């Protein structure tokens, strides 16, 4: 019962409960292509900066092959969200007319020597030299094969607990190394199953390596295939070492030595040239296995991101199966040779029903039968742990289903599609569809959609720039950004280290904001503040306010309760009544002159106006034919509109409030407005009730912008969303035609990035600029 990990785990409810936890990362490559499916020969998009230092977006062998890397995440779903976000960001930054090729097998390739290897400039000349060498050994075309790598490790907490539970008389490191070695040995033995089930590269384009094309039967006008194989990539025409490397799997130390020996004897040029289906990765000093890299996965052309969650959950279960399954003999040279053979049989003949593999006892066994046995054993060993997790339950069921009906494998759909449309057209249609999809909802961070949009936008920009981040407190939208030596903490996108605490407190205190602005000769609503003890004084001050339009309101307003607007000619009686009403809502009240004009939100970062917005109440524009109901329905189709603040705009509701507001205008939902007629469905202009955001950044005269910047300087604040009332934007600012009514220390940025009308002002970029990233 040595290393009976399952036994120890089953003894301990916590080990059992946390078995499915781990650190999960995904790496994925896509070739860039033009609209005709030809490999793009353009440079890697410069917006991603130094590819040698970018943690998320880089190139692989070729300059034309983008590699996307997620950091280790606490769940597969989170890693998938991150990958999708990187994919979307990359897609949006491609040169016009370029696409991400969704298939592992390459697109239309030029001559070998015309394939550009990744350029590193002066930053890493050895990287270019290494690629030149690979070109010589393997040629460049094979290097264009892309795939998905799945990185996995158990959590350190879980590993330590298992180590203690095992009571083994060894070190934690030794224990961990032994565990991963056992898992790896079984992975080597049974990896053919993954290729058989999940292989998704059944064909290559005719421009692929001539030697391969020559021995493959023609599948279609532009493609060649083994016809019976699941994965060209995992087969003999795929991405592999010249000679199958034989290693020593007995221990981590011996494994490492055997790899070193291959380098020493010249079989490999470098350790990283070892193209095994599973890599044991060591961070830091190479003393321990840190995580496993599963490399057998082809891109799934039916998925935008090239991989499905379900498949990754299945792979994760397969890894656990490899940990639990008792080993058959020793993974010596002979077993390794058998494993290579089984690998090739699965990839090259995996679509045949009668293919027979070789067991590790040396017998022959039908692939279908063996697969059945393994999946049955997996269910037996693992079902207990998945009972509380529907993702893993589904993955187990999916595996069972696939084994029972291998016709359900995606590779069959691909073969059918390629045969119908041709290799290039089939994949290009997918590529175009995915680009459209990425563009249509270009504001979310997948997996973090519950966070504020402003924060999601900042995180998207962080990914683009290669700034690492952590979500420290999800509910509070509190993140940490890191790049090189720089660390910044940011809450809700705009609460940063740029502002001082006293600056924030000044903005928070509306009376003081006004006072400081007034001292700086900036126009604010005149007026007074009265506590309950000063009620008598407030009443006497009618003498000051009479003849002016004023607003009387509680100091803290809730839903507009207690607010009265008085006209120039209103009576003292109305004035007294308004004061009384305001005091009902708060212990102190404000009496302010009424400011006319339209309200503009002016966003300032570091003494610069970076966006100006005006908000308009929910409305539709008539076409002379459609009812208000239909116009609303049409307007709500905009992907910018959603529900619950996860999109830049909200859908217009057809509720009681809208009904009542239409009634005051003598209208209802069935009214058909005239062509061009604007119908408002709400009095208030909040975005949250379907209002429109209209960008005015380029339409407001500089004189107002200067005043806004002066206001920020007066308060010594760096990030602020300042609300200014302006009478007429056609007119330059003078002493009487505008006033600042508020300065917000936590203004939303997403409304400036995705306005209903106008440009994306990219405030997420500006904030990262300001923070020095």
Q: Nearest distance from residue 528's CB to its own copies, in Å?
A: 11
* Rounded distance between C-alpha atoms, residue 686 and residue 455, angstroms: 20
Are 557 and 564 a contacting pair, CB within 8 Å? Answer: no
Tell me: does residue 484 bind its own copies (CB under 8 A): no
Tokens of 571: 């009576």
- C-alpha triplet 469, 474, 86: angle, nearest 5°: 45
Tokens of 398: 């999916």
Count of positions on this chain that bind its own copies (CB under 8 A): 35
**Stretch binding its own copies (CB under 8 A), from 210-218, 510-518, 657-665, 682-690:** 510-518
Q: Nearest distance from residue 494's CB to its own copies, in Å?
A: 9
Q: Nearest distance from residue 498's CB to its own copies, in Å?
A: 8
* Rounded distance between C-alpha atoms, residue 445 and residue 117, angstroms: 31
Beta-carbon contacts of 443 under 8 Å, excluding residues fewer than 6 positions away, are 453, 456, 457, 460, 647, 648, 750, 753, 754
166 or 496: CB nearest its own copies: 496
β-sheet bridge partners, residue 553: 590
Tell me: does residue 511 bind its own copies (CB under 8 A): yes
* Rounded distance between C-alpha atoms, residue 199 and residue 691, angstroms: 49
Positive/negative CA dihedral, 36, 42, 48, 51: positive
Tell me: does residue 504 bind its own copies (CB under 8 A): yes
Site string for its own copies, 703-742 (x = CB under 8 A): -------------x--------------------------
Binders of its own copies among residues 434 to 473 (CB under 8 A) are 472-473
- B/e letters for 596-627, b = 16+ CB within 10 Å, e = fewer, are eeeebbbbbbeeebbbbbbbbbbbbebeeeeb
Site string for its own copies, 16-55 (x = CB under 8 A): -x--------------------------------------
Q: Nearest distance from residue 488's CB to its own copies, in Å?
A: 7
Binders of its own copies among residues 544 to 583 (CB under 8 A) are 544
β-sheet bridge partners, residue 30: 66
Positive/negative CA dihedral, 74, 77, 78, 80: positive
Q: Nearest distance from residue 81's CB to its own copies, in Å?
A: 19
**Stretch binding its own copies (CB under 8 A), from 53-61, 237-245, 439-447, 485-493:** 485-493
Calculate the CA 336 to chain-centre distance: 39
Residue with tokens 């003598």: 666
Q: Nearest distance from residue 738's CB to its own copies, in Å?
A: 24
Q: What 3-state DSSP class applies to 613?
A: strand
Exactly one of 12, 327, 391, 723 binds its own copies (CB under 8 A); which one?
12
Q: Nearest distance from residue 345's CB to its own copies, in Å?
A: 44
Total residue length of the chain: 773
User: Strand 564-566 and strand 550-554: pairing?
Assistant: antiparallel
Q: Nearest distance from residue 16's CB to its own copies, in Å?
A: 9
Tell me: does residue 528 bind its own copies (CB under 8 A): no
Exactly one of 221, 537, 643, 706 binds its own copies (CB under 8 A); which one?
537
Tell me: does residue 495 bind its own copies (CB under 8 A): yes
C-alpha atoms less than 13 angstroms from C-alpha of 586 in its C-beta half-sphere: 21
Tell me: does residue 500 bind its own copies (CB under 8 A): yes
Exactly one of 308, 491, 633, 760 binds its own copies (CB under 8 A); which one?
491
Tell me: does residue 501 bind its own copies (CB under 8 A): yes
Q: Nearest distance from residue 472's CB to its own copies, in Å?
A: 5
Binding site for its own copies (CB under 8 A): 12-14, 17, 472-473, 476, 478, 488-491, 495-506, 509, 511-512, 515, 537, 540-541, 543-544, 716, 745
């Amino acid at each position: 019962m040595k290393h009976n990990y399952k036994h120890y785990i089953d003894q301990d409810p916590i080990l059992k409960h946390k078995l499915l936890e781990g650190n999960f990362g995904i790496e994925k490559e896509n070739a860039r292509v033009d609209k005709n499916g030809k490999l793009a020969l353009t440079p890697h998009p410069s917006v991603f900066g130094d590819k040698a230092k970018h943690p998320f977006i880089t190139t692989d062998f070729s300059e034309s092959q983008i590699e996307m890397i997620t950091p280790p995440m606490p769940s597969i779903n989170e890693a998938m969200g991150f990958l999708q976000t990187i994919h979307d960001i990359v897609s949006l930054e491609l040169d016009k007319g370029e696409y991400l090729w969704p298939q592992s097998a390459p697109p239309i390739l030029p001559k070998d020597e015309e394939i550009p290897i990744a350029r590193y400039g002066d930053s890493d000349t050895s990287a270019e030299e290494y690629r030149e060498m690979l070109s010589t050994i393997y040629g460049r075309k094979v290097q264009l094969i892309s795939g998905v790598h799945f990185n996995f490790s158990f959590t350190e907490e879980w590993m330590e607990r298992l180590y203690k539970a095992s009571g083994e008389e060894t070190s934690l490191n030794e224990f961990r190394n032994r565990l991963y070695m056992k898992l790896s040995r079984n992975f080597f033995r049974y990896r053919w199953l993954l290729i058989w089930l999940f292989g998704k590269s059944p064909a290559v384009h005719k421009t692929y390596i001539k030697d391969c094309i020559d021995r493959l039967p023609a599948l279609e006008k532009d493609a060649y295939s083994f016809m019976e194989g699941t994965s060209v990539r995992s087969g003999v025409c795929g991405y592999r070492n010249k000679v199958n490397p034989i290693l020593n799997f007995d221990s981590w130390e011996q494994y490492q030595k055997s790899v070193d020996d291959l380098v020493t004897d010249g079989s490999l040029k470098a350790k990283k040239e070892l193209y095994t289906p599973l890599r044991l990765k060591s961070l830091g000093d190479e003393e321990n296995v840190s995580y496993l890299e599963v490399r057998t996965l082809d891109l799934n052309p039916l998925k935008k991101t090239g991989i499905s969650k379900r498949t990754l959950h299945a792979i994760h279960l397969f890894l656990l199966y490899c940990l639990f399954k008792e080993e058959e003999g020793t993974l010596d040279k002979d077993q390794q040779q058998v494993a290579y053979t089984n690998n090739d049989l699965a990839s090259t003949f995996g679509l045949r029903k009668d293919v027979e593999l070789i067991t590790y006892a040396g017998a022959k066994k039908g692939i279908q039968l063996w697969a059945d046995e393994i999946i049955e054993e997996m269910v037996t060993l693992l079902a207990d742990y998945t009972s509380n997790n529907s993702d893993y339950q589904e993955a187990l069921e999916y595996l069972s289903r696939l084994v029972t009906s291998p016709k359900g494998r995606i590779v069959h759909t691909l073969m059918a599609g390629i045969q119908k449309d041709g290799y290039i057209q089939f994949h290009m249609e997918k590529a175009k569809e995915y680009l459209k999809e990425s563009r249509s909802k270009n504001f979310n961070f997948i997996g973090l959609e519950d966070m504020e949009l402003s924060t999601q936008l900042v995180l998207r920009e962080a990914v683009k720039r290669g700034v690492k981040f952590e979500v420290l407190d999800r509910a509070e939208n509190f993140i940490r950004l890191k790049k090189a030596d720089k660390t910044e903490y940011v809450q809700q996108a705009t609460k940063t280290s740029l502002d001082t605490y006293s600056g924030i407190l000044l903005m928070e205190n509306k009376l003081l904001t006004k006072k400081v602005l007034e001292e700086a000769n900036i126009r604010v609503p005149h007026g007074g503040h009265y506590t309950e003890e000063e009620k008598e004084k407030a009443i006497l001050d009618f003498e000051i306010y009479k003849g002016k339009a004023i607003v009387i309101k509680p100091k803290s307003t809730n839903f507009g309760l207690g607010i009265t607007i008085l006209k120039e000619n209103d009576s003292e009686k109305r004035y007294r009544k308004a004061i009384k009403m305001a005091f009902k809502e708060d212990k102190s009240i404000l009496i302010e002159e009424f400011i006319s004009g339209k309200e503009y939100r002016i966003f300032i970062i570091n003494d610069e106006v970076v966006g100006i917005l005006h908000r308009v109440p929910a409305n539709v524009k008539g076409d002379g034919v459609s009812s208000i109901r239909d116009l609303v329905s049409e307007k709500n189709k905009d992907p910018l509109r959603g529900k619950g603040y996860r999109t830049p705009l909200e859908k217009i509701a057809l509720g009681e409030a809208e009904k009542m507001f239409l009634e005051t205008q003598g209208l209802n939902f069935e009214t058909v407005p005239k062509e061009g007629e604007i119908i408002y469905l709400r009095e208030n202009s909040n975005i949250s009730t379907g209002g429109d955001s209209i960008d005015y950044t380029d339409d407001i005269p500089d004189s107002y912008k200067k005043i806004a910047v002066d206001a920020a300087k007066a308060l010594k604040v760096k990030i602020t969303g300042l609300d200014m009332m302006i009478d007429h934007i056609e007119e330059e600012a003078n002493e009487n035609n505008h006033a600042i009514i508020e300065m917000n220390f936590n203004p939303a940025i997403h409304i400036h990035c995705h306005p209903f009308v106008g440009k994306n002002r990219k405030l997420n970029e500006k904030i990262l600029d300001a923070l020095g990233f």
